[in-house]
Amino acid sequence: MPEQEAARRSRNFQEVNLGLEAELARREAMRCLECSSAACVTGCPIGVKVKEFVSLVLAGDFLAAAAKIREDNVLPAVTGRVCPQEDQCEGACVIGKKFEPLAIGHLERFVADYERRTGRVGLPKMAPKTGKRVAIVGSGPAGLSAAGDLIQRGHEVTVFEALHEIGGVLVYGIPEFRLPKDIVREEVENLRRMGVEFKTNMVIGKTVTVDELLGAEGYQAVLVATGAGLPHFMNIPGEHLCGVYSANEFLTRVNLMKAYRFPEHDQPVYDCRDKVVAVFGAGNTAMDSIRTGLRLGAKSAWLIYRRSEAEMPARAEEIKHAKEEGVQMLMLTAPVEFVGNSEGWLTGARCLRMELGEPDASGRRRPIVVRGSEFVVPMDLAIIAIGTGGNPLVQSTTPDLKTRKDNYIEADPVTLKTSKKGVFAAGDIVTGGATVILAMGAGRKAANAMAEFLNTGIW
C-alpha cells in the first residue's frame, strides 16, 4: 500500500494510505490460491465473499467485484480501511502460513474506491413495501448495517441520531487521516437513496423515549444501537486539571468541530502546538488520539501503557504508523496522579514502573507495580483512552430493558431481542467496545430477527 511519507503526514490530516492502482490490485489478486474451503470467508464476521470478489478483481471487472462485496457489506470503503484484517479474513488466509497473507483489506478498499470514483454505486434489489415501520436508535455501523438490510426488505426505516452527523464512531471517533469523513457521508447517501430516513439531533430518552416510539410515534419495532461512548476515567488525583481529556471528548472536538482545519476553523481543543501530549492506553482510540495530537502540532507525543507492546490491542498497522510518525512508546508505566500548577493547569503525571506477572482474565499478562519506582513525566495535555461503557440514556428511560455491568443491554445472542417486546439491541451497546465489522454483523443479525418479528408478530 503506497503511503504518505511519515514526516510529512504526521503534520497533516490527509489520509495516510494512498490506495492501490488497478495494476497493483490485479497483481495482488493473482496471489489468491482460490482455496476450495475459503477460510477468509469464515474469518469475516459478516461473511463477505472474498474468494469471489478477488477473482472479479483479477478479471478486471472492478464494478462487479464491488457489487459482490455489497451483497454482504453496506460499508466496503469503510471496512477496507479500518477492519483489523490481521485477526479476521487475512488472519485466516492460507498464504499467511508461510508468506504475507493476501491483502484482502487493501483490495476491498480498492474496489470500493473505484466504484465511488466512477459514481456508479449500484443500489441493491428492493423488496415491495410492507408498510411496517422500524426505528433505529444510533447511526454507527450497527445501526447503518441494520438500516440497509431492513430497507431492502421493504420496511420503512428511520434512524435517530443524537449528534448532528450520521456515522457514530466512524465520524466522531476515527480521525480524518484514517477514514475521510466524505467516504462515510457517501455511504450514508447510498442508504438515503435506498430510502432510509435520517433524523439528527434526536436524543432518544430525552427528545422522545423508546416507549413513545413504539406508541404514539407508530413504530412496530426499535433497534437500540447506541454504542459504547461513555468514557472510563482512572479515578486518580488531579484528573480534574485543565489539560486532561477523555479520548472521546478530544477526538469528538477535533473531528466534529473541525479542529483539524485550524486556523481556518476555530480551535475547540487546547492548543497542542509545541506542547508535550501524552495518551494513556494502547487501543485504536489511544493511537488515534496521540496521532491527532501530533498533527495538531505537538512537539512530542507519548503513548503510555501499563503493559508491554506485545499486549497492545490496537491494529498492527496503527502501531506501525504511529511509530513511524514519531510517537514515543513508554511501556510498563502507569500513572498514579496528575500534577498541575497553581492555576489548575496540568504539568505532568506521577507514574510507577510495572512488570508483567501471570496472565489475568483477559489472557494478557497482568501488570505488577515495581516498588519505589515512582517518577514524573512532564506533559501539557493528557488524553485518557482506557476504555468506555455503554451510553446509558435509553436504558435509564426504558424501565423494562434489562442491563448488565457498565450499562450494556442484555440481548439474546442469536436474535438480539431484549427483555422488552419489540425492542432489539446490537453493536457495542451489547458487546462492549468491539470493532466496526462486528457491529455491522450484529446489525445484520438483528435485522433478520426484526424482519421475522415484523412479518409474523411473534415475539
Ligand X SMILES: Cc1cc2nc3c(=O)[nH]c(=O)nc-3n(C[C@H](O)[C@H](O)[C@H](O)COP(=O)(O)OP(=O)(O)OC[C@H]3O[C@@H](n4cnc5c(N)ncnc54)[C@H](O)[C@@H]3O)c2cc1C
- Supply the minimum distance, in Å, between the C-beta of residue 401 and ligand X: 12
- Supply the minimum distance, in Å, between the C-beta of residue 190 and ligand X: 17
Cell (9 digits) for 297: 502540532
CA 459, 74, 57, 68 torsion-angle sign: positive
Comparison of 207 and 373: residue with beta carbon closer to ligand X = 207
Cell (9 digits) for 272: 497542542
Among 50, 111, 169, 349, binds ligand X (CB under 6 A): 169
User: What residue type is assigned to position 341 of the chain?
Assistant: N
Cell (9 digits) for 360: 489475568
Q: Which of residues 325-354 bind ligand X (CB under 6 A)?
A: none
Asked if 35 contacts 21 with a C-beta cutoff of 8 angstroms, the reply is no
Q: Is 17 in the site for ligand X (CB under 6 A)?
A: no
Pairing of strands 388-389, 230-231: antiparallel
- Supply the minimum distance, in Å, between the C-beta of residue 149 and ligand X: 14
- Supply the minimum distance, in Å, between the C-beta of residue 385 and ligand X: 8
Of 133, 192, 190, 206, whose CA–CA distance to 391 is shortest? 206
Q: For residues 427, 433, 435 and 438, what is the CA-based torsion angle, rounded to 10 degrees?
A: -30
Among 160, 250, 262, 453, binds ligand X (CB under 6 A): 160
Q: Which of residues 129-158 bind ligand X (CB under 6 A)?
A: 137-143
For 98, the enclosing helix (H) or strand (E) is none
Among 76, 168, 243, 313, binds ligand X (CB under 6 A): 168
Q: Is 229 in the site for ligand X (CB under 6 A)?
A: yes
Among 38, 162, 351, 423, binds ligand X (CB under 6 A): 162
Q: Is 284 in the site for ligand X (CB under 6 A)?
A: yes
Q: Is 433 in the site for ligand X (CB under 6 A)?
A: yes
**Whole-angstrom distance, CA of residue 164 vs CA of residue 198:** 11
The stretch among 76-84, 97-105, 111-119, 324-332 that binds ligand X (CB under 6 A) is 76-84
DSSP strands (E only) in 316-373: 328-330, 333-340, 346-359, 365-369
The stretch among 224-232, 234-242, 360-368, 373-381 that binds ligand X (CB under 6 A) is 224-232
- Supply the minimum distance, in Å, between the C-beta of residue 288 and ligand X: 4
Binding mask 23-52 for ligand X (x = CB under 6 A): ------------------------------
Comparison of 199 and 366: residue with beta carbon closer to ligand X = 199
Count of residues near ligand X by CB under 6 A: 43
- Supply the minimum distance, in Å, between the C-beta of residue 312 and ligand X: 13
Comparison of 138 and 335: residue with beta carbon closer to ligand X = 138
Q: 151 in helix, strand or coil?
A: helix
Binding mask 80-119 for ligand X (x = CB under 6 A): --xxx-----------------------------------
Among 149, 161, 187, 325, binds ligand X (CB under 6 A): 161
Comparison of 56 and 166: residue with beta carbon closer to ligand X = 166
- Supply the minimum distance, in Å, between the C-beta of residue 188 and ligand X: 12
Comparison of 110 and 160: residue with beta carbon closer to ligand X = 160
Comparison of 173 and 348: residue with beta carbon closer to ligand X = 173
- CB atoms near residue 266 (< 10 Å): 10
The residue assigned the cell 494513556 is 280
Binding mask 241-260 for ligand X (x = CB under 6 A): ----------x---------
Q: Is 407 in the site for ligand X (CB under 6 A)?
A: no
**Whole-angstrom distance, CA of residue 260 vs CA of residue 165:** 16
Asked if 101 contacts 112 with a C-beta cutoff of 8 angstroms, the reply is no
Of 155, 157, 122, 125, whose CA–CA distance to 139 is shortest? 157
Q: Is 177 in the site for ligand X (CB under 6 A)?
A: no
Q: Where does 11-140 have alpha helices with state H? A: 22-29, 39-43, 50-58, 62-70, 76-82, 89-92, 104-118
Phi, psi of 322 (to 5 degrees): -60, -45
The stretch among 104-112, 196-204, 235-243, 361-369 that binds ligand X (CB under 6 A) is 196-204
Asked if 92 contacts 43 with a C-beta cutoff of 8 angstroms, the reply is yes
For 134, the enclosing helix (H) or strand (E) is strand 133-137
**Whole-angstrom distance, CA of residue 218 vs CA of residue 161:** 18
Residue 380: beta bridge partners?
Answer: none
Q: Is 174 in the site for ligand X (CB under 6 A)?
A: yes
Q: Is 418 in the site for ligand X (CB under 6 A)?
A: no
Q: Is 187 in the site for ligand X (CB under 6 A)?
A: no
Pairing of strands 346-359, 375-378: antiparallel
The DSSP code for 354 is: E
Residues contributing to the site for ligand X (CB under 6 A): 82-84, 137-143, 160-163, 168-169, 173-174, 202-205, 225-227, 229, 251, 284-285, 288, 315, 391, 393-394, 427-429, 433-437, 439
